[in-house]
Structure 1
Amino acid sequence: MADRMSVNLGKGQKVDLGKPDGGALEVVRMGLGWQAAPRKGFFAKLMARDIDLDASAVLFAGRTPVDVVYFQHLTSSDGSVRHGGDNLTGGAGQGADDEVITVDLTRVPKKVDQIVFTVNSFTGQTFQDVQNAFCRLVDDATGRELARYTLTGGGSHTAQIMAKVHRSDGGWQMTAIGAPTQGRTFQDVIPDIEQHL
Structure 2
Amino acid sequence: MSVNLSKGQQVSLSKSDGGALNVVRMGLGWQAAPRKGFLARLTAREIDLDASAVLFAGTQPVDVVFFQHLISDDGSVRHTGDNVVGGSGQGGDDESILVDLQRVPVHIDQIVFTVNSFTGQTFQEVQNAFCRLVDEANGQELARYTLTGGGSHTAQIMAKVHRSGPGWQMAALGAPAHGRTFQDLMPEIAAHL
Q: TM-score, normalised by structure 2?
A: 1.00
The residue number in structure 2 matching 1:44 is: 40
Partner amino acid, structure 1, of 2:34:
P
The residue number in structure 2 matching 1:151 is: 147
> Map of 1:38-117 to 2, 5 A cutoff?
38-117=34-113
Encode CA deviations 1:89-134: one digit per residue, 9 max, x unaligned.
0000000000000000000000000000000000000000000000
* Mapped pair 1:193 → 2:189: yes
State how far apart, in whole Å, the 2-side matches of 1:30 and 1:131 are.
Answer: 18
Distance apart, 1:169 and its partner CA: 1.4
Gaps of at least 5 residues in structure 2 are: none
RMSD over equivalenced CA pairs, Å? 0.3
After superposing on structure 2, the runs of 4+ consecutive aligned residues of structure 1 that deviate more than 4 Å are none
State how far apart, in whole Å, the 2-side matches of 1:192 and 1:61 are.
Answer: 17
State how far apart, in whole Å, the 2-side matches of 1:41 and 1:59 are.
Answer: 43
Partner amino acid, structure 1, of 2:104:
V
Residue aligned with 1:167, SS:
strand
* Mapped pair 1:162 → 2:158: yes
Gaps of at least 5 residues in structure 1 are: none
Distance apart, 1:67 and its partner CA: 0.1
State how far apart, in whole Å, the 2-side matches of 1:169 and 1:10 are.
Answer: 23
Q: TM-score, normalised by structure 1?
A: 0.98
Partner amino acid, structure 2, of 1:17:
L
Residue aligned with 1:46, SS:
helix
Partner amino acid, structure 2, of 1:177:
L
Paired residues in the alignment total 193
* Mapped pair 1:177 → 2:154: no
Partner amino acid, structure 1, of 2:159:
A
Identity across aligned pairs (percent)? 79
State how far apart, in whole Å, the 2-side matches of 1:169 and 1:77 are.
Answer: 25
Encode CA deviations 1:153-181: one digit per residue, 9 max, x unaligned.
00000000000000001100000000000
* Mapped pair 1:141 → 2:137: yes
- For residue 123 of structure 2, the aligned residue among 123, 127, 146 is 127
